[in-house]
Amino acid sequence: MKDEYNENKVAIRLRNALAHSNMTQSELAEKTGINFSTISSYVSGRFEPKRTPLMKLAKALDVSPTWLAGFDVPMDAETPYYNAETGILTIPFITQKISAGLGEEELPEDCLEVRSIDILASMAKGISKKILTAAEVKGDSMIEANIYPGDIVIFARGRIEGDGIYVLALGGDILVKRLQFDALSNELEIISMNKNYKPRTVAADADGLRILGKVVGWFHNEI
């Protein structure tokens, strides 16, 4: 059974976003490609949008998808919340687990959920807060870097800057590994910080390889 309270909260926020952007349901349907009757069911609270339509709605309305989903974060799109009094920064937290091991299957976009998590703002290290994302680690291949199963890594999406620890997609898996770049040979060495795992070398432009972002920090999850 669906949670009626959450459905109503999403519907209320959708109505608020429509009013804030001075947009009609018909205009929203046109911008998102979602038919009018479905939009109407979301606005009335009869149905709750799944992740893919919710992301389309948030983009069209220029609001945070996490806010639209009912979480206690700012309404503004892609704007992390910073509390100057506590030094706490709230950033997106994705339900995709990242493997420090042999591999964790990359989830399709419509299976992901975006929540939020609080971190110390100092972990941003001068990086644009809009590109920071958090995810949970699974596996033990990075324990010599003090990254353990269940830890939370913070990475800067799209940032590729020299050797270091990165989140990457390879062959349908999502990994967190140390990368060493060899520009002369156009190769990339993927290193596990655990002596039980051997490094491997791949072409920097190998099919199925995507470097998602550089890890800027991590912390042990006590939950």
Residue spans per domain, the chain = 4-68, 81-219
Residue ranges in the chain modelled with pLDDT below 70: 1-7, 73, 77-84, 87, 102-103, 107-115, 222-223
Q: Cα separations (Å) of 60 from 8, 35, 54?
A: 20, 14, 10
- Look at domain 81-219 and name its CATH class: mainly beta
Residue type, 69: A
Say which residues have a Cβ less than 8 Å from residue 75's Cβ, sequence separation at least 6.
13, 16, 17, 20, 63, 64, 67
Per-residue pLDDT, 71: 74
197 contacts: CB under 8 Å, gap ≥ 6:
101, 141
Per-residue pLDDT tens digits for 77-136: 655 566 667 767 777 787 788 888 766 777 665 555 666 777 777 777 778 777 888 899
Per-residue CA distances from 222 to 91, 148, 149, 151, 152 (Å): 18, 12, 11, 8, 10
Q: Which class is 4-68 in CATH?
A: mainly alpha
Nearest to 17 by CA among 70, 66, 75, 96: 75
Conformation bin of residue 33: beta by default, left when phi > 0, alpha when psi is -120 to 50: left
pLDDT of residue 5: 38
Under 8 Å CB-to-CB from 43, ≥6 apart: which residues? Answer: 11, 14, 15, 18, 25
pTM as predicted: 0.65
- CATH topology identical between 4-68 and 81-219: no
The pLDDT of residue 2: 41
25: amino acid identity, one letter: Q
